[in-house]
Chains A and B, each alone.
Chain A
């Protein structure tokens, strides 16, 4: 009497004919092959090419920017006026963005990027950006002359300025006496009245520039002696007093967590406007110099929605749209006549948005130099010694 066998469950996974032949060894062997192949596939060197323009706006646009950096009203306006779906993704640092764009070799899917100016030359050198078609950006004429000749991209070949700002520090007047004005004052306060309650930016260049600024050295120096001195001072004299490293410490101000914070002017303005107790805080544009950073709109290599990208950038250069950005993130754009518009729009704390002329004149834009690795290492040392 033959026994009835239950239907072979393997049937669900593989054709009956194959099922019997899959042995464990063969299975593992198969995986090894597939696994190695996938690893090898990671080594491809070619970059996808950018689509060409044809005058018609594509239905979609992918923007890769810093978090919460664009005014949602502007985005919505662009979307409705042009019937383009705009997707905005965010990154937390230039390095992160560059790593992602670089690794994807043009297939990231992003069209518009927002790199900081100092990283642009390198991105161009590594073929990560596409040239802008100026004929599609008539509003370039609205730019202030200074912003058409930035050292990292003279003539706006690859980029257009988006927002710019500077670094300073905010302090709690109820906890700190006196009127600090310079980076040296900052260092003295950190070691003195504000000890244990100091927040620094989580940025290698910015932290080192505190020392260079205080000692009158060019913050973009690559002199090893300067760098050694900076490391020694920062790790021994500043680090022990630092409580936290945060590049956007608005919450710390609002929650009164610290006495002294190195921060960007726009973040300070935002913090003061949201704080219950704004009067106790004061922001300083320190002497002798500080960073002048510019975030830019750039076109990614391998972008597929090129017409929409150009239309978007052009849209953002319209003064009425640009002032909306100023209102949103508190930083000036490169567009001319914004100060007047700001007064019209009745924005508050204008001095925090638009640094005074004499301040702007003494600012030093950060450059990406060979010292970058050393600066990163110094920051690590400071963070290790902190607290």
Chain B
């Protein structure tokens, strides 16, 4: 009977395995394969008759690295800003709002997703233009004196990415906050902790898986984003994704583009691992500080 179940499980997971192989592993393998190739002439995009690591050398020597650091800054700031905005909002939605209204609020959070990514980013371009609505409003209420100068700067890109990726942070946070046991919060209050103490000592540690998924869901695609920067960033707000994309459009150097893509993936993975390690370190330190030695032998 057990054997039958094993085979059944293997067969049932066929669609998932097929999807993974055809749409994830095979294309990835292709990209890695191309990254060892070269651009033989002006017209042909890539050739793999001679394999080498030269493209990687080009990547690390060229404009890629400074662009990567700039992008990393935007991505980390963007993730943090998303977190700061999403946590109170998701908490309010999951805990304070009447359960009847929650599905409606969730739908409203998702409404921007019904519009194409590019279209809503262009919408921001119109709003942030020097002669646009934002400029008019800010001048009218007196914060700004003169046309708004934020378009085609890093600031505009930062705003755009937070706007575009915020729902991806709100949703996992909402899910995890909603699942929290309200009596734990009550217990914390009961034991003398104020609202903020309760939030940081009880709610946040329980919500860590949600916070982690939200951050990953935002940070990783953000590192590769090039649309937001293309539309809002101008020269100063370039992100590394644009350089990678350019190799596949105007420069037509697929080998270099593939090498850039692989390098980007590796660096993003490395960043995530470093942050995870830092987090575990901090947690270990906090645990050590909180540890109670009762002197009781087990």
Contact = CB atoms under 8 A, between A and B. Distances in A.
B200 interface: no
Chain A interface mostly: helix
Contacts of A28: 17
B90 to A, nearest CB: 35
Interface of A: 8-10, 13-14, 19-24, 27-28, 31-32, 34-35, 38-39, 42, 92-93, 95-96, 98-99, 102-103, 122, 125-126, 202, 204, 239, 242-245, 251, 255-257, 368, 370, 372-373, 376, 380-381, 383-384, 386-387
Interface in B1-60: 4, 6-8, 10-12, 14, 17-18, 21-22, 25-26, 29-30, 33, 39, 42-45
Given A35-B26, A244-B152, A373-B42, A384 B238 contact: yes
Contacts of B131: 255-257
B235 A387 contact: yes
Nearest to A241: B235
Interface stretch (B91-99, B159-167, B208-216, B246-254): B246-254
28 contacts: A10-B7, A13-B11, A22-B10, A27-B14, A27-B17, A34-B22, A35-B21, A39-B30, A39-B33, A93-B249, A98-B43, A99-B249, A99-B252, A102-B44, A122-B42, A243-B235, A243-B236, A245-B235, A251-B125, A255-B129, A256-B129, A380-B62, A380-B63, A380-B243, A380-B246, A381-B63, A386-B236, A387-B236
B252 A95 contact: yes
Given A22-B7, A35-B21, A92-B249, A386 B130 contact: no
B148 to A, nearest CB: 10
Contacts of B6: 23-24
Contact of B238 (A24, A32, A373, A383): A383
A279 to B, nearest CB: 15
A187 to B, nearest CB: 16
A22 B236 contact: no
Which interface residue of A10, A21, A28, A239 has the most chain B CB atoms within 10 A? A10
Contacts of B43: 98, 102, 122, 125-126
A65 B12 CA distance: 45
A372 B251 CA distance: 9
Nearest to B234: A244
Nearest to B249: A96
Given A9-B12, A257-B130, A376-B251, A31 B238 contact: no
A19 B8 contact: yes
B222 interface: no
A331 B12 CA distance: 59
A19 B12 CA distance: 10
Interface in B47-92: 62-63, 66-67
B157 to A, nearest CB: 12
Contact of B249 (A95, A242, A251): A95
A244 B22 CA distance: 39
Given A20-B4, A98-B252, A370 B235 contact: no
B12 A10 contact: yes
